[in-house]
Structure 1
C-alpha cells in the first residue's frame, strides 16, 4: 500500500513539472506575431512565453512596452517590437521625456530581452487629427536621438506603422502612389528611414478590400488560392494575390518619391474568423485559408513579383482573440488561438500553453504550492 501511494504521488508531481508533448508544433517559419492584450481572459505573459516557445515563434510585436511581458520573456530567443501609442506622441517630441521613456521602458530589459524596434504611433496619417500628424515625425526623430544618446541606436531602430489607406493608387502595383494630401508627411518620413536605415511598416488587410467589393474581387485572389492572377499592364508581372500587389504598390510609391533603398515590412495582416452579418468573408474557413497559405509562402521564402529576391517579412495579426476590442465583431476575432491556447481553426498552428504559472520573479505561484501540499498530505495519510 505504501509503495503504491508513493508511486502515485511521484507520477502526479511529475505531471506538474512536465509539459505535455502531445501537440503539433509548427517549424519556425520566420513569422512574427502581434500580441495584443485588449481582453480580460488572456493567459499571463509567463504562460504565453511558454506557448510561443512551443510554437517556435521568435518575433513578437507589442502595442506598448508592458514590463510584465518583457520580463516574462527574459533569456528567451524572442525579438520584440514595442510600441509608443498615439497618445504619447506629443510628449515624445520632448527630448527629456523621450530619453526618460527609453531609460524606463527599454534600457532595463535589453540585457535579457531582445528589443529590436520601437514603433512610434500606429496609423497616424490616416486619422483625422492634423495635430497628431504633425507630431509624428518629430517624435520619431526625438526617440531615435534618445537612443543614440544612450548608445542604443544600432541595437534598436525606430519606425511607425501605416495603413494601406495612405495609398492613392494601389493597382496596378507599378503605378502605386501616396495620397497627395499626405505627401509632405510621407516624404519627410521616408527621408528619416533612409537616414536611419529603418524599414517602412504597413498594416495590410486584403479582407477589407474583399468585404467592401465581394462582387469585383475574387476570393481566391485574396486568400492565396489558385487563380489565374491579374497582370500588371506596365511590367507584365502577374499577381496571384492581393497582399503581394499591395507591397509592390508601396515600393512603387516610394520610388516615385525618389526612394529605392527602404525595405517594406508587413507589421499587421490577418483575417477574422467571425464577423457581423455585413462583414462578408469573415469565417473560420477563410481565415484558415488566408493565414495557412500565407505561412506556407513565408516558409518558401517567397518574394513579390517586383522584388522576388526579398522574402516577405510579416507579423500576423493576431495571437489571441481579444474580447474587449471595440468595433465590429471581426475586431475581436482575428486571433489564431483562443485564450486557453487552443486553435481557432486548424492550420497546424498548435502549441502548448503551460498550466503552471510563474511570476516574473520566478517563484512558483500559490496554487501550485497548495496543490503540492495537498498531494503530500494525501500521500502521508495513505502511507500511514
Structure 2
C-alpha cells in the first residue's frame, strides 16, 4: 500500500471510531472511556498538502472587519492558468491574500505591486538546510528581502504537515527560529510572523473538544513549537476536513453535522453545544494548545474542503452547501471562541487532473481550470 493509501486508511479508521461515539453517546459518562482510546478524528489530507508546488489564495469574503476566507490553489495539473493569470484572477475577484507553499519566483514576481498579502511556505525538503543560520539568512535575503516591500509578506510557513515520526520533524523548530532571526536581522521581524502547518493527526484525543490534547509522542514535537508561537504571537496552521469524517463512517456521522445544516445541538460538551463537526475539530485543537501552554495561540484553518465528485457524498450540491455554510459560519467563531472570526482556507482553487489515487482528489476545485466557477451560490466579495 502506498503512502497516500496508508494515510487514507488510518484516517478512515479514526473517523469510524469518532462517528460511533458522536452518533451513540452523549458527553456525560463517556469522557473517561474515550480519553484512553480516541485518536484524532480528523486526519489531514496529506496527499493534498504535501505538494511543494502548491499555492493557495485568500479571497476577501463579506466578513466585515474580520479575518478573510482563504482558498488553496494546488498546482498538480497540466492545464492551469499561468502565475500571472492567477494573480490577475485574484484582482478580478477582490482577492486580498495569497498562500504559496514554496518561494516560486514567477509568483513572487507577479505579486509585485499588487499589495496582496502573502503567506510564503518553506518546503519540507529545505528544512534541514535551514537549521544552519547562514543558509536561513540566505533564504530570507533571496526570497523575502529581494521582493519586499513590493511583495506584501504576512506569514512564513516553515514546513507543511511534518509528522513527529518524520525524520524532518527535528528540523522544524530550529528552521523556524533561524528564519525568525534572519527576518529580525533584516528589520522585518515585527511585520512577518513565522509558523508551521500541522495535521490534525497530532491530536491524541479530540472528543470531547474540551479534552483535546496532544499525545506523548506529538507533545515532544509540538510543545516547543507552541511555546515559540506563543512567544512570537504567530498562529498555528491546522487542516480540518469534516468531509473525510463523513465518508469514513456515513452510518454514524450525520451528513447535516458535517455540512453545517443540523437544526439543533448534535452533542453537548459541558456548557458548550456543538452543531457542526468543523467547530468540534477546531475547539479540540484549542484545548490541546491550552494544555501545551499555548492559550494565547490562535488557529488558522489552513485547509478544508468538499469534493464535487468521486464518492457517494462527493456531489456538487454537498460541496456547494459546505462551502457556502462554512463561509457564512466562520465569522461567528466556535463554541469555545464565540464571536472570534476564524481565518479559514478552502481547498481548492482549481480541479487538479494529475492528482490521485482517489478520484475525489481531482475534484476539490471551486473553479475549473478555465476559471469558470463550479458553484453559483458562493460569493467571495
TM-score, normalised relative to structure 2: 0.80
Q: Deviations over 1:127-147 (max 9, x none)?
A: x42x21111111111111111
Larger Rg: 1
Residue of structure 1 in register with 2:298 after alignment:
263
Question: Distance between the aligned counterparts of 2:290 and 2:314, measured in 1?
Answer: 34
Against the structure 1 CA distance between its residues 140 and 27, is the aligned structure 2 distance closer, same or farther, given a 3 Å change threshold? closer
Unmatched tracts of structure 2, length 5 or more: 1-58
Contact preservation (8 Å) 1:342, 1:350? no
Listed one character per residue, the Cα deviations across residues 52-94 of structure 1 (whole Å, up to 9, x for unaligned) are 2222121211111112112212222311111111111111111
Within 5 Å, which residues of 2 pair with 1:1-384? 28-29=62-63, 30-125=68-163, 128-129=165-166, 131-233=167-269, 235-275=270-310, 279-298=311-330, 301-349=331-379
CA distance in 2, matches of 1:49, 1:254: 35
Q: TM-score, normalised by structure 1?
A: 0.79
1:82-127 CA-to-partner distances (Å, cap 9, x unmatched) read 111111111111111111111111112122111111111111026x
Would the alpha carbon gap of residues 339 and 314 (structure 1) be closer, same or farther in structure 2, given more than 3 Å must change? same
Superimposed CA distance per residue, residues 293-352 of structure 1 (whole angstroms, 9 cap, x where no aligned partner): 111224xx211111113111111111111222343222221110011010123233489x
Structure 2 CA distance for aligned equivalents of residues 255 and 199 of structure 1: 13
Name the SS of the counterpart of 1:58 in structure 2. strand
8 Å Cα contact 2:367-2:374 kept in structure 1: yes
For the residue of structure 2 that corresponds to 1:254, the secondary structure is: helix
Identify if the C-alpha distance between structure 1 residues 228 and 309 changes in structure 2 by more than 3 Å, giving closer, same or farther: closer
Matches of 1:253 and 1:280 in 2, distance apart? 33
Question: C-alpha offsets along residues 238-277 of structure 1, whole Å, 9 cap, x if unaligned?
Answer: 11111111111111111122321111110111111122xx
| CA RMSD after TM alignment | 1.9
Checking the alignment, whether the CA contact within 8 Å between 1:173 and 1:248 is kept in structure 2 is yes
Give the number of aligned pairs. Answer: 319
